[in-house]
């Protein structure tokens, strides 16, 4: 075994081998993969080998498509058969709600280049002869569906990587990992030590234990998973003989089942409700090529549905039940990327669909390691989407929930209950008492809307029980004054003698003067967005940044990567140390003026001013800005004072008719103004020109901010896309995001977010289209629940286009 390597990959499952292959293909061949046993010795060897392109996140779906297309290439490169059978498949709906969901999947496929087609139950039965069409209301055909040989694929990656110069050491167990003072990593094994610049944790079933070697508690948990294989079935033999083809794959969402042909019989797997975690605290190191005891009672309810939906199963015997463990992150998507605070330590774990996702994970991680950027929008898989709050018990609750809902519908207004409430702010009970219906962002409870007694969310793809109430909350703001909780923003404090110069390099905006704020896009080297913040200059007190709450870890990783070593700049994520309230509406100033002794007149405290003031008895930092697009204030307050500030504002607001509003009303309000947000409109695949943030980029400033050259080039060339707001002729449903935008009969763009703008009484969609058509007045349509609705670009904001309210 070599003593030094550029990269050590820990784990020879399908994921580790894919990372090895991709690094070698991109030119990093001084790479060694260490496997404690034979390759495939974790969850890989007993997988059912199914693969498909469908994923709830379109960016992950793209990487799944990449993975499936890669198999031919690695087979050719390695000379190792992968056993790929691209049979195609049917996705089955037994309810109308499921069919609505499937129509959304078909629609997304249109701009992802995934060919999906809605078919009737009878057409589905012609393709998949075992199903009873009477049990279903509709189906979708997917041609890019199939299965493969898990061991063949893993060895094909490894052999192809070896041919390119990478190495594999089997029976080499990593026992410890130590960071040297010079930043290199000592990877200590049972056969000696390798010193490496980079370490990749692809430990699969042992990813948690490998993480613990460097003090990291990864939010992953293994679950037991069962599938059965039947005896040979005459129906299968008859179909094979008649058509010369295999029986195609089927996913029966309402039965929570997946099926495919396995030799002369069938394989049926299920994600059962009564699921069971495996090795909750510690994966045993002596677990090898073993299977777990099957428990047929646990999967019996799903099998019952299966036998009804696929009657031929009633006449056949079960040859074998496989029960094996594999790992999940709380939301079921992989954990990939560099780990904050551990330079050179990378993870590629929690991959629950290794044969659909392994290639994409390897591609993204190798790009990231070599180029400094994953080269795709992989937010849904980024390890930074979790923070310390994703504890072991939280992960346990969430993974179990996710497993049991693997094939369940999640409606756009549906909040999942497991692992909650976890983080709450001091006003939580006060807002609950007013009817707050809670959602969650980055582990923190956030009020979505306020329900009258006896009313709650009815889950639906269409406008639902909150519609009238959200309309009232919107009217409270636009007609008077509303208060909302905004603690879920990420807040950062930047100090140190070189803080200003550092911010000038990190952020693309011009730095504001003391007591002022500005909108601050942050770019990557390639000129694309990596953040958007409100930046405030607090004078002697340093700088304050407010940004997307879900991206706190993501942004801290970026900030810390760029901090000078000499301690001249310090940045702290304030998290729960600072809570927030916001008041907005034409009477917001009256309320603030009554609650404070500071001068908040327009002359003394104009739009984008920021300053310290007491609200009631509570010391606060108040900025005059509001995402509602109205006259408004964001109020930052230490948690021990949040209740006092809230009570002071509510008391002062009483005479002005103050009311509470939640994030759903805020969404409706920002749609009046065409405002975008991080994670929806602003993501790392868009440039500032494309995203409409160009006007906040100070191209002319002296500082050579990160991404300046690339952003200037984009500006000269004009980029490819434009973000646009559309008014949709919708009836009873509004967009939620990821719907296709049609132009002249072809899909040309996609929706990033939207909803109903109650004040303007318009259904609004925001999304990207090619710049060539971005100023067309006619010809757009937006697809909603399988139906195309006419849409028109709304270039000027629907509300306060001349900023009279906001700046008054």
The binding site for ligand FAD (CB under 6 A) comprises 10-16, 34-37, 41-44, 46-51, 173-174, 202-206, 210, 225, 227, 322, 324-326, 349, 351-356
Least distance to ligand FAD, CB of residue 3, Å: 17
Separation between Cα atoms, residue 352 and residue 358, nearest integer Å:
9
Residue 42 or residue 332: which is nearer to ligand FAD going by CB? 42
Cα–Cα distance for residue pair 750/791, rounded to 1 Å:
13
Q: What is the C-alpha to C-alpha distance for residues 568 and 497, in angstroms, rounded to an integer?
A: 6
Which residues contact residue 598 at a Cβ distance below 8 angstroms, ignoring those fewer than 6 apart?
A: 605, 611, 613, 614
CA distance 380 to 454: 35
Choice between 260 and 423, CB closer to ligand FAD: 260
Q: What's CA 197's distance to the chain center, in Å?
A: 29
Distance between CA atoms of residues 447 and 463, nearest Å: 19
Among residues 326 and 656, whose Cβ is nearest to ligand FAD? 326
CA 214 to chain centre: 26
Report the phi/psi class of residue 281: left, alpha or beta, with left for phi > 0 and alpha for psi in -120 to 50: alpha
CB 342 → ligand FAD: shortest distance, Å?
Answer: 17
Rounded to a whole number of angstroms, the minimum distance from the CB of residue 207 to ligand FAD is 7
| DSSP3 helix / strand / coil % (the chain, rounded to 5) | 30, 30, 40
Length of the chain: 808
The smaller minimum CB distance to ligand FAD, of residues 224 and 526, is found at 224
Cα–Cα distance list, 559 to 181, 186, 492 (Å): 22, 26, 11
Measured torsion, CA atoms of residues 700, 704, 707, 713, in degrees rounded to the nearest 10: 50
Burial environment of residue 640 by CB neighbours within 10 A (0 to 12, 13 to 18, 19 or more): exposed
In the bound state with ligand FAD, the residue whose beta carbon lies nearer, of 325 and 531, is 325
Of residues 152 and 719, the one with the C-beta less far from ligand FAD: 152
CB of residue 376 vs ligand FAD: minimum separation in angstroms? Answer: 19
Question: Residue 537 belongs to what H/E stretch?
Answer: strand 529-537
The least distance separating ligand FAD from the CB of residue 252, rounded to whole angstroms, comes to 15
- Which residue lies nearer to ligand FAD by CB, 33 or 503? 33
Q: Which is nearer to ligand FAD, 354 or 653 (CB)?
A: 354
> CB of 188: closest distance to ligand FAD in angstroms?
10
> Which H or E element spans position 358?
helix 354-371
Q: How far is the CB of 48 from ligand FAD (least distance, A)?
A: 3
Spell 348-372 as b/e; 16+ CB within 10 A means b. bbbbbbbbbbbbbbbbbbbbbbeee
- End-to-end CA gap in the chain: 71
Chain-centre distance for alpha carbon 540: 38
Residue placing its CB nearer to ligand FAD in the complex, 46 or 759: 46
Q: Name which of 324 and 737 has its Cβ closer to ligand FAD.
A: 324
Shortest distance (Å) from residue 571 CB to ligand FAD: 33
The distance of closest approach from Cβ of residue 629 to ligand FAD in the complex, given in angstroms and rounded to an integer, is: 45
As measured in angstroms, the least distance from the Cβ of 746 to ligand FAD is 33
Which of 51/130 has CB closer to ligand FAD? 51
What is the spatial distance between Cα 495 and Cα 498, in angstroms, rounded to a whole number?
8
Residues 300 and 321: their CA atoms lie apart, in Å, by: 12
Tell me the closest approach of the beta carbon of residue 67 to ligand FAD, in angstroms. 9
Task: Give 151's contacts (C-beta < 8 A, 6+ positions apart).
Answer: 39, 40, 44, 45
């Amino acid at each position: 075994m070599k003593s030094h390597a550029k990269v050590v990959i820990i784990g020879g499952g399908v994921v580790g081998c894919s990372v090895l292959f991709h690094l070698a293909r991109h030119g990093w061949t001084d790479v060694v993969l260490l496997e404690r046993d034979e390759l495939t010795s974790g969850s890989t060897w007993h997988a059912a080998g199914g693969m498909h392109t469908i994923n709830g996140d379109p960016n992950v779906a793209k990487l799944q498509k990449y993975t499936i297309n890669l198999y031919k290439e690695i087979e050719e490169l390695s000379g190792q058969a992968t056993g790929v059978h691209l049979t195609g498949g049917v996705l089955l709906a037994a309810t109308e709600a499921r069919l609505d969901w499937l129509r959304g999947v078909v629609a997304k496929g249109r701009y992802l280049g995934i060919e999906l087609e809605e078919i009737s139950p009878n057409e589905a039965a012609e393709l998949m002869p075992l199903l009873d069409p009477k049990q279903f209301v509709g189906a979708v055909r997917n041609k890019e569906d199939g299965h493969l040989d898990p061991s063949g694929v893993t060895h094909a990656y490894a052999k192809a990587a070896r041919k390119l110069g990478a190495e594999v050491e089997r029976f080499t167990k990593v026992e410890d990992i130590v960071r040297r003072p010079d930043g290199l990593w000592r990877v200590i094994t049972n056969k000696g030590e390798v010193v490496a610049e980079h370490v990749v944790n692809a430990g699969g079933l042992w990813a948690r234990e490998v993480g613990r070697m460097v003090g990291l508690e990864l939010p992953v948990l293994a679950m037991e998973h069962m599938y059965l294989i039947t005896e040979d079935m005459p129906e299968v033999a008859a179909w094979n003989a008649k058509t010369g083809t295999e029986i195609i794959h089927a996913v029966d969402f309402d039965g929570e089942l997946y099926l495919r042909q396995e030799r002369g019989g069938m394989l049926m797997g299920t994600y059962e409700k009564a699921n069971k975690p495996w090795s909750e605290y510690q994966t045993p190191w002596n677990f090898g090529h073993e299977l777990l005891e099957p428990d047929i009672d646990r999967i019996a309810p799903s099998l019952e549905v299966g036998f009804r939906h696929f009657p031929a199963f009633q006449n056949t015997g079960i040859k074998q039940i496989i029960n094996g463990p594999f790992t999940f992150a709380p939301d079921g998507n992989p954990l990939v990327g560099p780990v904050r605070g551990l330079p050179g330590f990378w993870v590629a774990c929690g991959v629950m669909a290794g044969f659909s996702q392994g290639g994409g994970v390897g591609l993204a991680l190798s790009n990231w390691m070599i180029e400094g950027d994953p080269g795709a929008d992989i937010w849904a898989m980024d390890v930074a989407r979790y923070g310390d709050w994703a504890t072991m018990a939280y992960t346990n609750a969430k993974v179990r929930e996710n497993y049991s809902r693997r094939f369940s519908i999640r409606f756009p207004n549906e909040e999942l209950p497991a692992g909650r409430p976890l983080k709450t702010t001091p006003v939580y009970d006060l807002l609950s008492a007013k009817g707050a219906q809670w959602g969650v962002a980055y582990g923190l409870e956030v009020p979505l809307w306020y329900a009258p007694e006896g009313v709650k969310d009815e889950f639906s793809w269409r406008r639902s029980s909150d519609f009238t109430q959200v309309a009232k909350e919107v009217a409270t703001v636009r007609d008077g004054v509303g208060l909302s909780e905004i603690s879920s923003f990420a807040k950062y404090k930047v100090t140190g003698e070189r803080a200003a110069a550092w911010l000038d390099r990190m952020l693309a905006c011009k730095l504001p003067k003391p007591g002022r704020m500005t909108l601050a896009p942050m770019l990557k080297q390639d000129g694309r967005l990596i953040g958007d913040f409100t930046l405030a200059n607090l004078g002697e007190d340093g700088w304050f940044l407010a940004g997307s709450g879900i991206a706190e870890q993501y942004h801290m990783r970026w900030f810390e990567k760029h901090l000078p070593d000499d301690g001249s700049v310090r940045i702290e994520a304030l998290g729960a140390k600072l809570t927030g309230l916001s008041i907005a509406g034409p009477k917001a100033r009256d309320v603030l003026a009554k609650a404070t002794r500071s001068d908040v007149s327009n002359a003394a405290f104009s739009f984008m001013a920021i300053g310290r003031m007491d609200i009631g008895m509570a010391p606060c930092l108040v900025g005059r800005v509001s995402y509602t697009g109205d006259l408004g204030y964001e109020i930052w307050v230490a948690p021990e004072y949040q209740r006092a500030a809230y009570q002071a504002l509510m008391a002062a607001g009483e005479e002005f008719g103050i009311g509470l509003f939640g994030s759903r009303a805020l969404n409706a309000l920002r749609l009046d103004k065409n405002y975008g947000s991080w994670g929806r409109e602003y993501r790392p695949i868009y440039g500032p020109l494309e995203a409409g943030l160009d006007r906040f980029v100070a191209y002319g400033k002296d500082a050579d901010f990160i991404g300046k050259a690339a952003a200037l080039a984009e500006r000269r060339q004009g980029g490819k896309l434009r973000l646009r707001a559309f008014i949709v002729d919708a009836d009873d449903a509004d967009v939620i995001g990821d719907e296709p935008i049609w132009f002249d009969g072809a899909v040309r763009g996609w929706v990033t977010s939207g909803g109903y703008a109650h004040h303007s009484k318009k259904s609004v969609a925001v999304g990207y289209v090619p710049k060539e058509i971005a100023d067309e007045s006619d010809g757009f349509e937006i697809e909603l629940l399988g139906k195309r609705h006419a849409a028109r670009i709304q270039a000027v904001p629907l509300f306060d286009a001349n900023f009279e309210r906001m700046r008054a």
